[in-house]
Amino acid sequence: MTAATVTSTGKRPIVVFGPSGTGKSTLLKRLFAEYPTSFGFSVSNTTRLPRAGEVNHKDYHFLTRPEFLSAIERKEFIEYAEFSGNLYGTTVQAVRDVAEAGKTCILDIDVQGVKSVKGTDLGARFVFVAPPTVEELEKRLRGRGTDDEESVLKRLETAKGELEYGNSEGACDIKIVNDDVDDAYKKLVDFIFSE
Ligand SMILES: Nc1ncnc2c1ncn2[C@@H]1O[C@H](COP(=O)(O)OP(=O)(O)OP(=O)(O)O)[C@@H](O)[C@H]1O
């Protein structure tokens, strides 16, 4: 265990970041399928009301707006955002909970979130997933078919800053160029199990 590791189980979270469309979800889906009991996502907090069948502390930690705002004040969040009038966010404690349960927490977050995790004592390791080229990234975003033109252009614009950050000194522990998906997946697994 390194000095930066503070969870009692020594399970260091893995932060995966990189522009939208680089293939983070694709790689992580494979990882969870191959190792279903080794990894976990943290339970998010939200102010939205539970839907039928949703279980508090399992699907989400359901909070009132004042509770959520107090947690923001106490700087408990790694990241949070408002969508359609509801607040959503991930706390440091939620990440720690995954480690305490004996699993490696996987965080798929944006650059702001990455910077925020770096300011915590979670002892996380950082994986930057990069596209082979910006042209290929654009092709994948269009090929995925989940975004309209405006959204694709917005994602590409955001990608510039994310690539710049990911390529900057000390931003990540490993940069994986997701060209061939099998190669990229192998690099990810090798890195994760390298300690
Ligand atoms: N190595 C690869 N070669 C070609 N296509 C790929 C590769 N990896 C992923 N893709 C495809 O690229 C598209 C984007 O991948 P994915 O949705 O996994 O990206 P993402 O980084 O998770 O994006 P977001 O941040 O928006 O969730 C998908 O259609 C996926 O099938």
Please report the pLDDT score of residue 2 as a whole number: 45
Q: How many Å apart are CA 142 and CA 138, to the nearest integer? A: 6
ipTM above 0.85, yes or no: yes
Please report the pLDDT score of residue 8 as a whole number: 74
pLDDT tier at 125, thresholds 50, 70, 90:
very high
Closest Cα to atom 1 of ligand 1: 181
Q: Which atom, in ligand 1's list, is nearest to the CA of 184?
A: 1
Q: How many Å apart are CA 145 and CA 109, to the nearest integer? A: 21
Name residue 138's beta-bridge partners.
Answer: none
pTM confidence score: 0.93
Is pLDDT at 3 greater than 50 in this prediction?
no
154 in Cβ contact with 19 (< 8 Å): no
List the structure tokens of 138. Answer: 């654009």
**CA 189 to centroid of ligand 1, rounded, Å:** 17
Q: What is the pLDDT of residues 31-74, one digit of tens each?
A: 999 999 999 999 999 999 999 999 999 999 999 999 999 999 99
20 lines ligand 1 (CB under 6 A): yes
Residue type, 108: D
Q: How far is CA 153 from the centre of its chain?
A: 22
Beta strand segments in 84-167, E: 86-91, 104-108, 125-130
Which domains does the chain show, CATH number per domain?
A: 14-192 (3.40.50.300)
List the structure tokens of 63. Answer: 């909070």
Residue at token pair 């990189």 = 18
